[in-house]
C-alpha cells in the first residue's frame, strides 16, 4: 500500500517535472530510480536500462531512418522535396490554408522530425502565405498543424515499440491506423479552412496589421533553390515507397522486388540512391549516416531508455498489476485515457513521447483485457501524443513556426486547439 502511494506520488511528480520542462530523460530516469530504490530493488533500474538500450527491434528500425534523414539533409534532397510540393500550392489561393496543412503533413511523413519539418517547410511557406495576405499566425498555424504526419514514419520510436508489443511488423502498425489518421488529417484541414473563413484570417492581412515582429524572424538561411530537380525531390520518399510496395500483403513483390524489405534495407537503398543522384562524396555520406544514427541513439533511443527505466521502476514497485486491475473495472475508459493522457501531456510539455511510451509499455500489453487490440490502443496513444504536440505552444515546432511569423506561439496554439481536439476524438472513435 505504501509503495502504491509512493509510486503514484513519484509518477505525478515526474510528469509535473516534465511539464515544468525539466529534461525529459532526466525526469524519467530519476522517477524510475526513486521507485526502484523504494522497492529495495535498485537492479530493476539497471536491468530496465540494459533491456531498453539493447532492444534490437528499436535500434534496427529507428537508427537507419535517422541516418538516412541526415543524409537527405546534407545532400539537399529535402529542400527539393519541399519546393516541389510547395510551389504549386501558392497558385490555389482559395484553399491555401488547408492545402498548406496537408502538404506539410505529407512532407512530415518523409522528414519525420516535427521541428525539422517545420523549419524546412515553414521557411518557404509561411512568408509566401503571409505575402498572399493570410494572417501570419494562421499561416504558421497551418504549417504547424501538419506536423503530425510523422505518424506514417517508421523512424518514430512508437511504431517500433507498438510492433514489439503487438508482435507485428513496424509497417503493419502504421498501416493499422492509416484510415483514422487520414480522416483525422482531413478533419484538421477542413476545420482550419472554416476557421480561416469564419474569423476572416485568409485575406488582406499584412504582418504590420497583425502586429507581428519580423525582426527576429529567421530569414531563409539557405540560398533559395532556383529550380526543382525532380529526381532529387523524390529521393527522400523512396524508402517509404519501397517499404509500402514490398509489403507482403500487397502481393506486388516479384522476383525483382524482394518480399518484405526491412526498414534497414530500404534506408540503405535510399542512402545509396541519394549519394549517386547528388553525386556526393561517399566519405561524407558515410559520416553523415553514422552521425545521424548516433544522434538518434542519444535523442530517440535515449527517451525510450528513460521511459523503459521509469516503467521498470513502476514494475519494481508492483503497481503495474494494480493499475491494470483498476483499468479492467473501467474498460471503456481505457481508449479515452490512452488518447487524451498523452494528448494532454503533449500540450503541456511539448512532446507526447514520454507519456505515450509510458502508457504503451505499461498498459498496452494488456489491451486484450480491455477489449481492444494492442495495436489499436498503442496507435491511439501515439497519435494522441502527436496531435497534442501539434497544438502545444511549448513544442519546438511551434516555436519555430511562430518565429517565422513573428508572433507568440500561443497565437498558433489558439488556432490549432479545436481542430486537434476534434481530430483526436475522430481517431479515437475510428480505432
- Nearer to another protein by Cβ, of 101 and 240: the residue is 240
**Which string of x and - marks every residue 51-70 that binds another protein (by CB under 8 A)?**
--xx-x--xx--x-------
When asked if residue 4 is in the footprint of another protein (CB under 8 A), the reply is no
In the complex, least distance from residue 272 CB atom to another protein, rounded to whole angstroms: 9
Residue list 316-355, contact with another protein (CB under 8 A): none
In the complex, least distance from residue 60 CB atom to another protein, rounded to whole angstroms: 5
In the complex, least distance from residue 289 CB atom to another protein, rounded to whole angstroms: 9
When asked if residue 283 is in the footprint of another protein (CB under 8 A), the reply is yes
All cell numbers assigned to 157: 520510436
In the complex, least distance from residue 308 CB atom to another protein, rounded to whole angstroms: 13
In the complex, least distance from residue 27 CB atom to another protein, rounded to whole angstroms: 9
SS3 letters across the chain: CHHHHHHHHHHHHHHHHHHCCCCHHHHHHHHHHHHHHHCCCHHHHHHHHHHHHCCHHHHHHHHHHHHHHHHHHHHCHHHHHHHHHHCHHHHCHHHHHHHHHHHHHHHHHHCCCHHHHHHHHHHHHHHHHHHCCCCHHHHHHHHHHCCCHHHHCCCCHHHHHHHHHHCCCHHHHHHHCHHHHHHHHHHHHHHHHHHHHHCCCCCCCCCCCCCCCHHHCCCCCCCCCCCCCHHHHHHHHHHHHHHHHCCHHHCCCCCCCCCCCCHHHHHHHHHHHHHHHHCCCHHHHHHHHHHHHHHHHHHHHHHHHHHHHHHHHHHHCCHHHHHHHHHHHCCCHHHHHHHHHHHHHHHHHCCCHHHHHHHHHHCHHHHHHHCCCHHHHHHHHHHHHHHHHCCCCCCHHHHHHHHHHCCCHHHHHHHHHHHHHHHHHHHHHHC
Which among 81-89, 158-166, 283-291, 333-341 is the span making contact with another protein, rule CB under 8 A? 283-291
Number of residues interacting with another protein: please give it, by CB under 8 A: 35
Which among 46-54, 154-162, 207-215, 417-425 is the span making contact with another protein, rule CB under 8 A? 46-54
When asked if residue 296 is in the footprint of another protein (CB under 8 A), the reply is yes
When asked if residue 74 is in the footprint of another protein (CB under 8 A), the reply is no
When asked if residue 115 is in the footprint of another protein (CB under 8 A), the reply is no
When asked if residue 22 is in the footprint of another protein (CB under 8 A), the reply is yes
**Among residues 46, 206, 249, 325, the one that binds another protein under rule CB under 8 A:** 46
Report the 10 Å Cβ neighbour count for 31: 26
In the complex, least distance from residue 264 CB atom to another protein, rounded to whole angstroms: 6
Q: Pick the closest to residue 381 from 337, 325, 321 (CA basis).
A: 337
- Nearer to another protein by Cβ, of 253 and 262: the residue is 262
In the complex, least distance from residue 10 CB atom to another protein, rounded to whole angstroms: 16
**Among residues 9, 12, 20, 23, the one that binds another protein under rule CB under 8 A:** 23
Which among 119-127, 154-162, 202-210, 284-292 is the span making contact with another protein, rule CB under 8 A? 284-292
When asked if residue 41 is in the footprint of another protein (CB under 8 A), the reply is no
Which among 1-9, 21-29, 96-104, 156-164 is the span making contact with another protein, rule CB under 8 A? 21-29
When asked if residue 298 is in the footprint of another protein (CB under 8 A), the reply is yes
What is the spatial distance between Cα 190 and Cα 209, in angstroms, rounded to a whole number? 26
When asked if residue 38 is in the footprint of another protein (CB under 8 A), the reply is no
Which positions lie near another protein, rule CB under 8 A? 22-23, 25-26, 29-30, 43, 46, 49-50, 53-54, 56, 59-60, 63, 262, 264-265, 268, 282-283, 286-287, 290-299, 302
Amino acid at each position: 500500500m505504501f509503495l502504491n502511494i509512493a509510486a503514484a506520488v513519484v509518477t505525478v511528480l515526474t510528469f509535473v517535472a516534465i511539464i515544468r520542462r525539466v529534461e525529459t530523460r532526466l525526469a524519467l530516469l530519476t522517477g524510475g530510480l526513486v521507485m526502484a530504490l523504494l522497492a529495495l530493488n535498485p537492479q530493476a533500474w539497471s536491468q530496465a536500462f540494459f533491456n531498453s538500450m539493447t532492444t534490437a527491434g528499436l535500434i534496427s528500425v529507428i537508427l537507419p531512418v535517422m541516418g538516412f534523414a541526415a543524409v537527405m539533409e546534407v545532400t539537399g534532397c529535402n529542400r527539393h522535396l519541399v519546393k516541389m510540393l510547395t510551389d504549386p500550392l501558392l497558385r490555389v489561393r482559395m484553399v491555401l490554408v488547408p492545402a498548406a496543412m496537408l502538404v506539410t503533413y505529407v512532407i512530415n511523413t518523409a522528414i519525420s522530425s516535427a521541428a525539422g519539418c517545420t523549419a524546412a517547410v515553414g521557411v518557404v511557406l509561411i512568408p509566401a502565405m503571409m505575402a498572399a495576405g493570410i494572417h501570419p499566425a494562421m499561416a504558421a498555424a497551418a504549417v504547424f498543424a501538419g506536423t503530425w504526419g510523422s505518424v506514417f514514419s517508421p523512424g518514430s520510436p512508437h511504431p517500433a515499440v507498438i510492433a514489439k508489443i503487438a508482435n507485428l511488423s513496424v509497417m503493419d502498425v502504421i498501416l493499422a491506423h492509416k484510415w483514422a489518421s487520414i480522416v483525422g488529417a482531413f478533419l484538421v484541414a477542413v476545420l482550419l479552412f472554416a476557421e480561416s473563413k469564419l474569423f476572416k484570417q485568409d485575406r488582406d492581412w499584412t504582418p504590420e496589421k497583425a502586429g507581428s515582429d519580423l525582426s527576429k524572424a529567421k530569414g531563409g538561411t539557405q540560398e533559395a533553390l532556383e529550380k526543382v530537380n525532380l529526381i532529387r525531390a523524390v529521393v527522400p520518399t523512396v524508402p517509404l515507397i519501397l517499404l509500402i510496395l514490398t509489403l507482403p500483403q500487397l502481393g506486388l513483390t516479384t522476383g525483382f522486388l524482394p518480399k518484405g524489405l526491412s526498414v534497414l534495407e530500404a534506408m540503405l537503398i535510399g542512402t545509396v540512391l541519394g549519394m549517386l543522384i547528388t553525386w556526393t562524396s561517399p566519405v561524407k555520406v558515410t559520416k553523415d549516416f553514422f552521425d545521424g544514427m548516433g544522434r538518434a541513439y542519444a535523442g530517440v533511443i535515449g527517451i525510450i531508455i528513460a521511459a523503459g527505466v521509469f516503467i521498470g521502476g513502476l514494475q519494481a514497485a508492483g503497481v503495474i498489476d494494480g493499475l491494470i486491475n483498476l483499468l479492467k473495472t473501467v474498460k471503456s475508459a481505457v481508449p479515452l485515457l490512452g488518447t487524451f493522457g498523452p494528448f494532454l501531456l503533449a500540450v503541456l510539455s511539448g512532446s507526447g513521447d514520454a507519456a505515450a511510451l509510458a502508457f504503451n509499455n505499461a498498459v498496452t500489453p494488456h489491451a486484450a483485457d480491455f477489449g481492444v487490440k494492442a495495436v489499436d490502443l498503442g496507435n491511439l496513444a501515439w497519435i494522441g501524443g502527436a496531435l497534442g504536440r501539434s497544438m502545444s505552444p511549448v513544442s519546438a515546432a511551434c516555436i519555430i513556426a511562430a518565429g517565422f511569423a513573428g508572433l507568440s506561439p500561443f497565437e498558433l496554439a489558439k488556432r490549432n486547439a479545436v481542430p486537434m481536439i476534434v481530430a483526436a476524438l475522430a481517431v479515437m472513435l475510428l480505432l
